Structure 1
Amino acid sequence: MATSNSASTFDTFLEEKYIPLSTKAKVGIVIVAVLIPVALFYFLYFKTEAQKIDNLNRQIVSARKDLNRARKAARNLPRYKAEIEKTRKEFQEAAVVLPKTKEIPNLLRSISDLGKGAGLDFLSFKPGAEKQKDFYAEIPVDISIRGPYHNMGFFLDQVSKLNRIVSVNNITMGSPRKEGGEMLLSSKCRLVTYRFTNTQAKKSGKKKKKKR
């Protein structure tokens, strides 16, 4: 009812102040007069607020995803810690069987002592050039010894029981000679021990620094 009165008042105003209009023209003017404020409200306020709401919704979704990832990481934290501890122990064990540079002379001295303790005479003891691998280096040692056959076997058995890794290659025995009621043999072999270098880890660290 109020809308009808407003339209009539507006029509009367147009007829009195301006020119007579047809009914269609009057309706069109009324529609335009109503739509303009609505359009202004939409573009100036509603659309902007709708965009803000949409952005907020996206931020909420992103925050929820981050929260879920954080919760998942928190749940897995004990497992990650256990894996790190396991890796640390394995690394320490590897460091034990793969001595560092300063420990190599002591290792070679231990091998020499084992040979003498087994009743063998060292004729020569020649460490060779290192061969670099991924994270360790091979150190060959050519030895020439003389003594009873069984003593040689005992010596090699003791070498295999060292905490450090020592492999025995290219064993040759010959030149038997009886001495003091025992048959002595001259034997040659190559002992290969290993030195921990951590070269691969250092390379990985340098690559990470370059990426930064």
Structure 2
Amino acid sequence: MNPQVEKFIKLPFYKRFLIVFVVLLSITGAFYFFVFVPKMDEYKGLVKKSETLQAEIVQKKSIADNLVRFRDEYDKMQQRLDESLKELPNDKELPELLTSIAAIAKQNQLEVKKFQPGGEVAKGFYAEVPVTLTLTGRYLDIGRFFFDISEMPRIVTVGNIKMKTVGGKAAGQVLISVDCQATTYRFLSAGENPPPAKKK
């Protein structure tokens, strides 16, 4: 057995617990500051950009219908919007995206204990699609899973992360159970957009 592992095992329980707690806290902190926060900023920027482009498209379309000279400008804005919306799947692509998340967990040797998509929450021209996850595996594999999720071409944010050690080891490393919520975003077609609230 590895001398470092033997030394760790011989430590008093409270010291082992403290070491594991510090490691988990470090992983969670690193994920939050280096993955979650940048992704959330990127997401907010994309949503703001998309809303601005939507407003511009509506304004320019009325002009383009009557004036040919504005058609090129409208087409360019539509192209920019389409490029932005590539990161938001439509209804047909959503099951494939959810399957990809589960596949990434398995590729990182994580056991998927729970994979439960929740109800959509409409947010203007897009909808949030939450997925409740419970995963078990080594902390390095869990870290790789979060990294791989952040590298997906579609926007997927992960929050409400709760970690705890579970009985057992894999390759000499303590197993960790993670409860979290992955949220992806789906583009709503014109017919799906909720009507604007009436002013009183």
TM norm structure 1: 0.55
TM-aligned CA distance change 1:162 to 1:187, over 3 Å: same
Deviation at 1:102, TM superposition (A): 1.3
Point out the structure with the larger helix share.
1
Matched, 1:165 2:155: yes
Bigger mean CA deviation after superposition, 131-140 or 89-98: 89-98
Choose the corresponding residue for 2:109, options 112, 119, 122: 119
Q: Which residue of 1 aligns with 2:183?
A: 192
Deviation at 1:87, TM superposition (A): 1.4
Deviation at 1:90, TM superposition (A): 2.1
Q: Which residue of 1 aligns with 2:78?
A: 88
Gaps of 5+ in 1: 1-72, 205-212
1:1-212 paired onto structure 2 within 5 Å: 77=69, 80-180=70-170, 181-199=172-190
CA–CA distance in 1 between the matches of 2:192 and 2:112? 38
Deviation at 1:200, TM superposition (A): 8.1
Q: CA RMSD in A?
A: 2.2
Aligned partner of residue 101 in structure 1, secondary structure: coil
Q: Percent identity, aligned pairs only?
A: 35
Aligned partner of residue 92 in structure 2, secondary structure: helix
What amino acid maps onto 1:190 in structure 2?
Q
TM-aligned CA distance change 1:203 to 1:104, over 3 Å: closer
Deviations 1:45-86 (A, max 9, x none): xxxxxxxxxxxxxxxxxxxxxxxxxxxx67xx2xx3442132
Aligned partner of residue 102 in structure 1, secondary structure: coil
Aligned partner of residue 154 in structure 2, secondary structure: coil
Structure ranking higher on relative contact order (CA contacts 8 Å, 6+ apart): 2
Q: Which residue of 2 aligns with 1:29?
A: none
CA–CA distance in 2 between the matches of 1:83 and 1:112? 41
CA–CA distance in 1 between the matches of 2:193 and 2:123? 13
Deviations 1:126-182 (A, max 9, x none): 000100111011100000000011111111111111111111111110034341412
Q: How many correspondences in the alignment?
A: 128
TM norm structure 2: 0.58
